[in-house]
Amino acid sequence: MEKLFAVCDLDTFYVNVERLLDPTLIGKPVIVGGDPKGRGVVASCSYEARAYGVRSGMSSRDAFLLCPNAIFIRGHGEYYSYYSRLVKEILANFTPSVTALSIDEFLCDFSGMVGIECLYRTPEEVAKKVREKIYLQTGLRISVGMGANPLIAKVSASVAKPDGFIVVPEGQEAEFLAPLPMEKLPGVGEVIGEKLTEMGLRTIGDIAKMPLHILKSHFGKIGESLHAKALGGACGSFSESLVISSTENEAILSHPFCKSIGHEETFQDTADPTEILSILAGLCAEAGFRLREKALTTSLITLKLRYSDFKTVSMQEPVHCIFADEDIFAKAKELFNRLYTRRMPVRLVGVRLSRLTKNLHEIPLFEWEKRLKKRAFYQAVDEVRGKLGLKSALPLSAMRIKCSFSQPKN
């Protein structure tokens, strides 16, 4: 295959990282997410829990009702970020073209690298070596889907789960997709899925057989895109749309389409400003870590608050090309003091860094020396965090409010 793409999807990533940290969890129903007695949601669940009907995105309370013997874990975001970066580095040893679609999913371009006189003889050889290498170096299982375009690679990776691989030969894309449920097709969400079901469609093949003018009359340009995807086409710059619409976790910043970096945390309602600021300090430190990982600075900081009555407010303010945790937190704290006006319990806080750039030519000359010293300091701090986790090196701003970077108290 002249064109060859692979999507490498880590299986039940959060759960399997937790099992690396605590092997006693192996074989047991595990749910990573919020407190089942609170308002949290399921971030990830093991296949043992899925057997009871538990799914990612459902409330933790509903998950507990379905699987009362499940082990609930708050999660360790710093370890997830570490293993995600590690897997990306391993994949980069196979091909220089690796794009993070999310914290646990990566798009690799092997075009021109597979063939009799190439680096790898067959796509199957690539998939086997990738899976073996990642398991040997991390202990994590990964599913691999391969095809002539990113869409086929993504769909085949989802079909290959758990812990398998599928190679779709060029020219057989439509045949491969036809029997799959239409929900497997990227772009078919809950709303569009309901409308397609009302039209009597069930599989991707049904979408492919539907006359294009009918799909366009119901969905406009989206209908044209769905039809092209159902036939196995690359649908233009599909890889770009795939990246841009991916989840806002962690590894998203690794791709060239990164527009912003954000983190938010839902917790048990609290009106204690010190506790809220502690959580905010942790979010700012994680956002700063990700920002520096790509050698970026931010020129706009946005703070988001959600009260216990679900009213959500936000406020943003420009800053001058900052990258340090304490500078990010200082502005976020200032925004919090201005935004938190209702004096009632809060259930979510979030911070977002945008207007990201690598161009520092606007920084006054007299600030360069101070900037370079600060960057050198954070380079050392981030090396420690990369090896030992975010908790291993706390920013001074967080220490002043006694922030432990632990999960919010229940």
- In sequence order, what are the residues at sequence separation of 6 or more whose Cβ sits closer than 8 angstroms to the Cβ of residue 106? 7, 8, 9, 87, 88, 91, 98, 99, 100, 251
Please give the structure tokens belonging to residue 139.
């202990």
Please give the structure tokens belonging to residue 197.
């079901």
Which amino acid belongs to residue 105?
E
Catalytic-residue membership of 317: no
Please give the structure tokens belonging to residue 184.
């497997």
CA distance 153 to 173: 10
DSSP string across 100-156: EEETTEEEEE-TTSBSTTSSBS-HHHHHHHHHHHHHHHH---EEEEEESSHHHHHHH
Give the max Cα distance, the chain.
69
The DSSP symbol for 70 reads: P
3-class SS of residue 375 = helix
CA distance 282 to 288: 10
Residue 110 Cα to chain centre, angstroms: 23
Cis peptide before 186 (omega within 30 of 0): no
Cβ contact 295:314 at 8 Å: no
Active site residue: 18, 48, 78, 105, which one?
Answer: 105
Cβ contact 385:282 at 8 Å: no
CA distance 170 to 372: 50
CA distance 389 to 81: 9
- Tell me the sheet residues that pair with 71: 30
Residue 193 to residues 181, 182, 206, Cα–Cα distance (Å): 10, 8, 12
- Hey, which residues are catalytic here? 105
